[in-house]
Structure 1
Amino acid sequence: MSYAYSEKYILVLSHDEVVHLKCSMLNKMPGLGFDKFANLKVGYAFMMGHAGKKLLFMGQEFAQLREWSEERELDWFLLAEAEHRQMQSWVRDLLHLYRRNRAMYEMDDSWEGFEWINADDGNRSIFSFVRHSRGKKKNLLFVCNFTPMPRDDYRVGVPRKKQYKLIMNSDDEKYGGKGEARPVIYKAVKQECDGRPFSFAYKLPPYGVAIFEF
Structure 2
Amino acid sequence: MPRGEKGVGFCLFTPEYFEMVEVIYSRFSPTQLDVHFRPDEIPNWATNLNLSTQYSMTCDLANVDIKDNDEFITVPVENPDQIIIAAQISAQNFKYDASLLNALEDMYLAAIDRNATVLLVQDGVEAVGCGIAEYEGSRAAVYFFSVNEKYRRRGIGTKLIRRIVCIAKSRGMTEAVLLAEGDDARRVYEKAGFKVYDTLSTWNFQQVSEGI
**TM-score, normalised by the number of residues in structure 2:** 0.30
Larger Rg belongs to: 1
**TM-score, normalised by the number of residues in structure 1:** 0.30
Q: Which has the higher helix share?
A: 2
- Higher relative contact order structure (alpha carbons within 8 Å, sequence separation ≥ 6): 2
